[in-house]
Homo-oligomer: A and B are copies of this chain.
Amino acid sequence: MGGDRSNFYDSHQPSDRRLRHRPLWLKPITSALRVPKITSMAVNLQSRVIDLRRKLLAMGAEVEQRVALAVAVVRDGDVDIAKTVRETDAEIDAMQAEVENECMRLLALGAPVASDLRLILSAIRISNELERIADMAKGSCKRVTKLVESGSYRFPPALLDMAEATRTMLRDVLVALSNEDAKLCLEIRRSDSFVDALNREVMLWSREWITQDVHSTAAAIEILAIGQRFERMADIITQIAGDTVFLVEGRILRHGAE
């Protein structure tokens, strides 16, 4: 299929300009304006793009599972579940690396059509964002464990509410991604301010706890940090919603995260 692609990761060799030439696709110039035959390479690319999409959604399902467990950890202070979340994070990292590597291989293959290019670029971004969400889930589990083990785990209802709202946002954005539903994405972006409002309640609760019992300062600061993990997850989920709109409509949405 033209050119040796095994050295894609190796920059010690000079760039191989021959990669630009793919003999299978060569046709007389006059044929370029006719509807092209679908070559075996195009069919291969098509099935690989479908497979990429499947891998990305599978990764999303795994991350959603981790976030659901993190919600249970916040609710029940269950250190065993927390341990599971922390110990299985490497699986998510491996899934992300696989998605990202496949994206780079596909981009190296050749000029993708606009919709495939958007899918590949979105997959790079979204897999990164999902990985960061899993990291945040792990981080919140770590902090709950610390509090439970020191016997000082108390939390406001707003913390559990924001954890659950974040989980719902993630589930919705994965549905939107799967169904290419841009309208749902715009709704998800609005949920982000709901999570921000809950986070402010968590802050007020923590300050109040400290004021009432200054010895709880360290624990209250941990609760703030857990709230911030979920707030960041919600923030990253709104970015995924923006990426999904780009995937579906080709529009770039930005949001003014701090």
A interface residue numbers (CB < 8 A to B): 2, 7-11, 15-23, 25-29, 31-33, 35-36, 38, 42, 93, 97, 100-101, 104, 107-118, 121, 124, 132, 135-136, 138-139, 142, 203, 206-207, 210-211, 214, 217-218, 221, 224, 228, 248-252, 254, 256-258
Contact, CB under 8 Å: A113 / B32: no
Contact, CB under 8 Å: B107 / A250: no
Contact, CB under 8 Å: B203 / A210: no
Contact, CB under 8 Å: B108 / A108: no
Nearest-CB residue, chain B, relative to A34: B18
* A-B contact list, 20 entries, CB within 8 Å: A9-B114, A10-B250, A11-B114, A15-B115, A16-B114, A20-B42, A20-B111, A21-B31, A22-B111, A23-B32, A26-B26, A26-B29, A97-B252, A104-B117, A110-B110, A135-B258, A138-B258, A139-B258, A211-B214, A214-B214
- Chain B residues contacting A100 (CB-CB under 8 Å) are 252
Quick one: given A108-B114, A118-B11, are A217 and B221 in contact (CB under 8 Å)? no
Give Cα A116–Cα B17 distance, bound, in whole angstroms. 11
Contact, CB under 8 Å: B114 / A15: yes
- Which interface residue of A7, A139, A206, A256 has the most chain B CB atoms within 10 A? A256
- Which interface residue of A31, A32, A228 has the most chain B CB atoms within 10 A? A32
Quick one: given A11-B249, A104-B117, A257-B135, are A18 and B42 in contact (CB under 8 Å)? no
Q: How far is the CB of A236 from chain B (nearest CB, A)?
A: 11
Give Cα A221–Cα B210 distance, bound, in whole angstroms. 11
Q: How far is the CB of A109 from chain B (nearest CB, A)?
A: 7
Contact, CB under 8 Å: B218 / A207: yes
- Beyond A8-B114, A15-B113, A97-B252, 14 additional contacts (C-beta under 8 Å) are A9-B114, A10-B250, A11-B250, A15-B115, A18-B33, A20-B25, A26-B27, A100-B252, A104-B117, A108-B112, A136-B258, A210-B210, A211-B217, A221-B221
